[in-house]
Amino acid sequence: MRSTIKGAPSGRARRRWGVSATGAGALAAALGMAVVTAAPSSSASVAHAGTTTITWWASPISTSGPDLRKTLIAAFEKANPTIKVNLETAPTNTDTNRADLVTTISGGAKTPDVFMGDVIWPGQFGAHGLALPLSKYLPKSFFNRFAPGLVQGASYDGQVYGAPFFQDQGFLYYRKDLLAADHMAVPKTWEQLQSDAVTLVKQGKVKYGFVWEGASYEGGTCDFMEYYADTGGQVLNSTDTKSVLNVADVTKVLTFMRGLVTSGASPAAVDTFQEPQAMTAFQDGQAAFLRNWDYAYSTSQAAGSKVIGKVGVAPLPTFAGRPYPGYSNIGGWNLYINPHSTNIPADLKFINFITGVQAQTIEAKPPFSEIPTNAAVRANPSIRKLNPPFAVLAQTKLVPRPAQNPNYPKISQAIYTNMNSAVAGSTSPAAAAKAMASQLNAAVSSSGL
């Protein structure tokens, strides 16, 4: 599934980065905060006069409407007239994006200066010296601006490598009209969701009860982590160096996921569903319930959808006997700095702006409607009213994927391949759980990626 890092140094990165005293002081004044300085490095030169140009490597964030990247750049350049941002469009496929960056940065390239990267990259990029440890430059107070859990997910080995840019998380979408007609409440447990989904299918009210992402790919890991977190289970220990997967809990999860298919709550083809297939089934009016990311609401209300005005949004359920709501997997993108950049003060200034209130408010408002990472923006009542998923953010509990280990691609593969095997019925839940545990042990202890 994921590309293998080649040409990157093995083990923990030993490189030390820093900015000159002049550059750090200028940055401190510009940001209005103290900046932590590290040991000087010849690779981090700073332009002291005139206009500084930095390159931002970023994938398109939406496929229609205004370009959020360009809108944010314009706002930043207006506020910072001595810094220009050159936008370099990155691949939309996260694996291709990652492979391109690894090749470029491990080869010593000074650009891109700042790059937009997946939330699952900190362990890989931090361990191999492919991203700057931001916490060596910015004070703890800077990271207090982010919503709970996001900084932890952007960290590796005690350092923060990514600045949370925008967030994704899983939500439960449901057909308000179908539930109302049958006097059903929004399900708060997975068991109730399964029962209601089966009922609606048997009544002929809908073709599919519950659609979700069961294919053998990264999205499958996201869905699995939500169920598994609802059991109280952990994948890695507190230092992210050892698997602590609970086989009994995994068996319970996989038994339930397979049961969604055998009971008729979910279609047999759900083991091939990624986000687009699940989304299409729901917006075409074929499904009563959908697990998907925050974009799914606006998609369900777009022209051509058959469920306009009929969709509700709620936190994900949990297993019976566990506290409601359930857990939602953290998705989204961070901003990272190339350790070879010669414009680190300008890079940090850009990151400070993009994660600040002004820029985060821009990205939260229509037509962009991205979940902001800035806690103050998220808490703003006027922002919460803009988008139904925003209104339930405060009710949700977040769970990251076990990405703080540099071998995360292999860890994720062990999860999603065995999950998919159980959902498809080609392996029993118990056997798939044991195989997952064995492969996780091997993945965590492997060297390299």
CA distance 120 to 401: 7
Q: How far is CA 17 from CA 31, 42, 119, 335, in A?
A: 20, 9, 22, 18
The conformational region for residue 65 under phi > 0 = left, psi -120 to 50 = alpha, else beta, is left
Count other Cβ atoms within 10 Å, centred on residue 38: 15
CA distance 448 to 12: 11
pTM of the model: 0.85
Mean pLDDT value across residues 308-316: 98
CA distance 103 to 120: 18
Q: Is the per-residue pLDDT at 282 higher than 90?
A: yes
Query: What average pLDDT does the chain have?
Result: 89
Structural domain spans, the chain: 21-168+332-399, 169-329+403-445
Q: Is the per-residue pLDDT at 448 higher than 90?
A: no
Mean pLDDT value across residues 309-320: 98
Residues 6+ apart with CB under 8 A from 143: 135, 151, 160
CATH class of 169-329+403-445: alpha beta
CA distance 79 to 73: 10
CB 106 within 8 A of CB 128: yes
Position 447 scores a pLDDT of: 61
Asked if residue 367 has a cis previous peptide bond (ω within 30° of 0), the answer is yes
Maximum distance among all Cα pairs of the chain, rounded to whole angstroms: 72
Nearest to 402 by CA among 391, 414, 390, 411: 411
Q: Is the per-residue pLDDT at 342 higher than 80?
A: yes
Condensed to tens digits (0 to 9), the pLDDT of residues 430-446 reads: 999 999 999 999 999 87
Nearest to 297 by CA among 358, 224, 366: 366
User: What SS3 string covers 122-143?
Assistant: HHHHHHCCCCCCHHHCCCHHHH
Q: Six-digit token pair at 94? A: 């996260």
Same fold, 21-168+332-399 and 169-329+403-445: yes
pLDDT more than 90, % of the chain: 82
CATH architecture designation of domain 21-168+332-399: 3-Layer(aba) Sandwich (3.40)
Which residue reads 């022209």 in tokens? Answer: 303
Mean pLDDT value across residues 245-251: 98
Extract long-range pairs of 304-310: CB within 8 Å, 24+ residues apart: 307/175, 307/282, 307/283, 310/175, 310/176, 310/177
